[in-house]
Amino acid sequence: MLPGLSFAVPLFGLLTEPVSVAHYLVVGAILFVSGIVCMAIKRNALGVLMGIELVLNGANVNFVAFASPYLQGAGSRSLGLDGQVIAVFVILLAAAEAAVALAITLNFYNNHATVDVDRADDLKG
Amino acid sequence: MMPYVATALFAAPLPLAFINWHSFFFFLFAAVACGFAVAVVAADNVVRMAFYLVLSLGATAGLFFLAGAEFVGAMQLMIYVGGTLVLLVFGVMLTAQAPFVSIKGSGRDRVVAGVVGVVLLAVLLQAALSVTAWKQPAAGIVAEPAATPIGMALVGVRVDEPGVGAPAQNVRPGYVLPFEIVSIHLLVVLVGAAYLARAKRRKTPRAIEVAASVEPPASVAEHAAIGRDRSRGASVLSGGR
């Protein structure tokens, strides 16, 4: 009955099989590309910051997926603790980066009365 | 009535019995994470973008839990969603004057960024799906706490995989040095952020101030502006923009 059902509902086959590392990599790729596009098209400085958060998060998904021993098939070895610790460090550095970037943004807003990154052209020759 | 419904649901040869619930929740969280990440890109209102980002990162924490990395998932929820995003929302609230809530980019930029994004996504997906070892189905989650090995490794003792071989080689290095580097980094960032944000807030933004001021002789105006802005290092001589 199962093949017939999978044939009838193509996506149902996905739900009956266990996930693999590749599933996580696809999610990480989508988050990463969303962040890149967000950084490229947003003119609000805070929107650019949110794009950076998305990019870091997409990288974290990959690290955690490769670190998980449960997602690996037989015979392949996971990153183990290294991947999880790197993910924790990335989260901490993202927090630090957000604090500094927000301070810069607020300073820019105080001095220029805008958060539009296209207006930040004082250094243009 | 409910028990009968449930019994009928599970006893009948329905698709529900074949569902791998780990996969089901993976796809649930993955759909929320990816969908709201795309919504962050698509939204123009910065307040909505912040809210979508909260949902996307929260769903990503669910993905971490499903991968067996519950410590990383908890850190994601506490630091990212609870700290970083609250900081971002404060930034949004402090700068959300009416003209800046939604700044639209030009249409040409959007088209170019969309094309580049699709191409990049195609390359990444091709790379992610090309290795057969990464497509082997998972063995399944075994309940095993991950917080203790991480905590011990951060102070330099590995309890997860003891090294093999002679007793001299039996010591695996932990993460003391990265931990110290990150600690110093956080301290420097704390001081730097406090230094950057220390400037006093203006009563009125500069553009309004310049526009509203009457026009005295230029030398007098520049002199006054320099005196006012010396502490902030603002470049008033370039004129109000």
ipTM given for this complex = 0.88
- Which of A39, A64, A89, A104 has the most B C-beta neighbours within 10 Å, making it the best mutation to test the interface with B? A64
Domain assignment of residue B118, yes or no: yes
Residues 5-24 of A with CB under 8 A from B: 5, 9, 12, 14-24
Together in a domain, B91 and B124: yes
Together in a domain, B215 and B194: no
Together in a domain, B22 and B90: yes
Split at pLDDT 50, 70, 90, the class of A110 is: confident
Number of domains in chain B: 3
Together in a domain, B179 and B223: no
In chain A, the percentage of residues whose pLDDT exceeds 90 is 42
How far out from the chain centre does Cα B55 lie?
Answer: 11
> Searching chain A, which residue's CA lies closest to the CA of residue B192?
A100
Provide mean pLDDT across the span A19-24.
88
Instruction: List CB contacts (< 8 A) between A87 and chain B.
Output: 64, 69, 72, 75
Report which of residues B82 and B211 the model is more confident about: B82
Provide mean pLDDT across the span B167-190.
82
The architecture (CATH level 2) of A17-114 comes to: Orthogonal Bundle (1.10)
- Distance between A62 CA and the closest CA of chain B, angstroms: 10
pLDDT of residue B204: 60
Together in a domain, B190 and B212: no
Provide mean pLDDT across the span B35-53.
92
Long-range contacts of B25-30 (CB under 8 A, 24+ apart): B25/B62, B25/B66, B26/A19, B26/A23, B26/B63, B26/B66, B27/A14, B27/A15, B28/B62, B29/B59, B29/B60, B29/B62, B29/B63, B29/B66, B30/A23, B30/A27, B30/B59, B30/B63
Domain assignment of residue B164, yes or no: no
Domain assignment of residue B40, yes or no: yes
CB A48 within 8 A of CB B88: no
CATH value at residue B136: 1.20.120.1200
CB B237 within 8 A of CB B222: yes
Domain ranges for chain A, please list them: 17-114
Q: Mark B25-45 as b/e (b = at least 16 C-beta within 10 Å).
A: ebbebbebbbebbbbbbebee
Domain that holds residue B239: 204-241
Tokens of residue B96, six digits = 């959300």
Q: Does B239 touch chain A (CB under 8 A)?
A: no
Domain assignment of residue B165, yes or no: no
CA distance linking residue A68 with residue B138, whole number of Å: 10
pLDDT of residue A10: 62
Together in a domain, B32 and B99: yes
Together in a domain, B51 and B132: yes
